[in-house]
A and B are shown apart, each in its own frame.
Chain A
């Protein structure tokens, strides 16, 4: 039987829709299950108290604070360096073997398993620089892990600014740096923020890089400086799920729900900023 183009198109659309559905359904299920099982655990004490009774009761406040510190530290370190490196790679570097190798290295760095970053952070920051297991070491390790994401997305954002804008600016006698500063960068900010959002989520969720560099098994005190150890949500979740017997299921799912909400909230802030900048974009 020969199919006419109209029928072929219908069948194609059906499979494309099915593929999309297959992506949406698991994501939806994850959210639904975590909310369903975790929501009963959420109350003021859970969010504001320290863990008690061997982490079987009480709250997860120190882990929330630790994760926020770590993510902020990673972004403060990685965003400026990543954006500057992206500016160099997209605007200044000439096309040659060296820059091609650098680009390839950055792309490959994004694929390095996170536990390898953890070991690297242990060797460099904890041992060599003698920062010890601390928020500083953990933030730097997470920062290095998300650098390739930020560099790659920022570079794409910079390169998507039309070449004609650069030519116009240069033809008016503006210098190359003025052109980047006043024309290219403002129009690339939405794309750079997209990279930051991806980086934020990754930094908040990873367990392996913080395992050797900062995370405390149980630390009921809040960190006082960047040289202190801290608890962190992903590691805490791992601990109460595998290392401590008889933890109520709802506490585990509650912790997962808080982690998820925290990441979504940080993304939301970045998305709002991005939206504000996109509205200003006028071409």
Chain B
């Protein structure tokens, strides 16, 4: 069964029509990458998957998003966001210590037991390949970590609440190549346990880590296929031109 089934999704912010009649499937335990120029609607699409769009007062939508076969809008919004985590474009640690950043979501979901929290934090940091670098710095402010470490901390923080899906919104846009490689490495390790949707401006990154790739343009889904196929034999001329760097 598909993790997500998106049917005829339309999104507006005020009068701006951000997504137009999008149909989409996301399979479980894969990395799906979404590419496209800015303002193509790829981030709006991603934020719809864990219902962050509705924080904007001007937001409206039609169509449905099914998560494990259930309508996302009929579920409890806190549960949706617990099951579907998000890593943002910029590393956004909360103004807390390294430990408390990762433990934050766990505490909010009612686990008060110190021992339990400690083991979840360690586990999550290991999954985000950050544990060895920060195990002696857990009490320090999260802002003292480097940019790449902060971004992996954000990944660990999302994992700590026990999601099924992790959404990445251009997670490497502010990082150097080495940090980028580390983040990509953790994504590849994560896909056996999680479903991953990655929005990226970096076409090469999509080719490196994606199992499937979707191409958005002006709010429309132009193409969605296996990454190999999209990059070697795209069906649409516009996809081909974007990948080869003719616009965007």
Indicate which residue in A173, A182, A280, A283 contacts B82 across the interface (CB closer than 8 Å): A173
Chain A residues, CB < 8 A from B238: none
Chain B residues, CB < 8 A from A167: 52, 55, 88, 92
Residue B143 is within 8 A (CB to CB) of chain A in the complex: yes
What's the Cα separation between A165 and B55 when bound, in Å?
Answer: 13
Contact A171 B143 (CB under 8 A): no
Residue B177 is within 8 A (CB to CB) of chain A in the complex: no
Residue A2 is within 8 A (CB to CB) of chain B in the complex: no
Chain B residues, CB < 8 A from A172: 81-82, 85, 104-105, 108, 157-158, 161
| Chain B residues bordering chain A, tally (CB within 8 A) | 29
Determine how close the nearest CB of chain B comes to the CB of A255; give it in whole angstroms.
Answer: 45
Determine how close the nearest CB of chain B comes to the CB of A166; give it in whole angstroms.
Answer: 8
Determine how close the nearest CB of chain B comes to the CB of A219; give it in whole angstroms.
Answer: 50
Considering residues B79, B108, B109, which has the most beta carbons from chain A within 10 angstroms of its beta carbon? B108
Residue B94 is within 8 A (CB to CB) of chain A in the complex: yes
Chain B residues, CB < 8 A from A175: 78, 108
Chain A residues, CB < 8 A from B141: 282
Considering residues A164, A168, A175, A183, which has the most beta carbons from chain B within 10 angstroms of its beta carbon? A168
CB-CB under 8 A for A169 and B94, given A164-B88, A175-B78, A182-B108: yes
Chain B 43-66, CB-CB to A under 8 Å as 1, else 0, gives 000000010100101000000000
Determine how close the nearest CB of chain A comes to the CB of B141; give it in whole angstroms.
Answer: 4
Contact A95 B79 (CB under 8 A): no
Residue A8 is within 8 A (CB to CB) of chain B in the complex: no
Chain A 178-193, CB-CB to B under 8 Å as 1, else 0, gives 1000110001000000
What's the Cα separation between A281 and B82 when bound, in Å?
Answer: 27
Residue B245 is within 8 A (CB to CB) of chain A in the complex: no
Chain B residues, CB < 8 A from A173: 78-83, 105, 108-109, 161
Residue A94 is within 8 A (CB to CB) of chain B in the complex: yes
What's the Cα separation between A182 and B108 when bound, in Å?
Answer: 9
Residue A174 is within 8 A (CB to CB) of chain B in the complex: yes
What's the Cα separation between A153 and B224 when bound, in Å?
Answer: 50
Residue A221 is within 8 A (CB to CB) of chain B in the complex: no
Residue A116 is within 8 A (CB to CB) of chain B in the complex: no
Residue A12 is within 8 A (CB to CB) of chain B in the complex: no
Contact B78 A174 (CB under 8 A): yes
CB-CB under 8 A for A170 and B55, given A175-B78, A178-B108: yes
Determine how close the nearest CB of chain B comes to the CB of A186; give it in whole angstroms.
Answer: 8
What's the Cα separation between A78 and B96 when bound, in Å?
Answer: 30
Chain B 74-106, CB-CB to A under 8 Å as 1, else 0, gives 000011111101101010101110000000110
Chain A 131-169, CB-CB to B under 8 Å as 1, else 0, gives 000000000000000000000000000000000110111
Chain B 165-190, CB-CB to A under 8 Å as 1, else 0, gives 00000000000000000000000000
Chain A residues, CB < 8 A from B157: 172
Chain A residues, CB < 8 A from B142: 282
Determine how close the nearest CB of chain A comes to the CB of B149; give it in whole angstroms.
Answer: 15
Chain A residues, CB < 8 A from B86: 171
> Nearest B residue to A183 by beta-carbon distance?
B94
25 examples of A-B residue contacts, CB within 8 angstroms: A164-B88, A165-B92, A168-B94, A170-B55, A170-B81, A171-B50, A171-B52, A171-B158, A172-B104, A172-B105, A172-B157, A172-B161, A173-B78, A173-B79, A173-B82, A173-B83, A173-B108, A173-B109, A174-B105, A174-B108, A182-B108, A282-B142, A282-B143, A283-B95, A283-B143
Question: Which residues of A approach B to under 8 Å, CB–CB?
Answer: 94-95, 164-165, 167-175, 178, 182-183, 187, 280-283
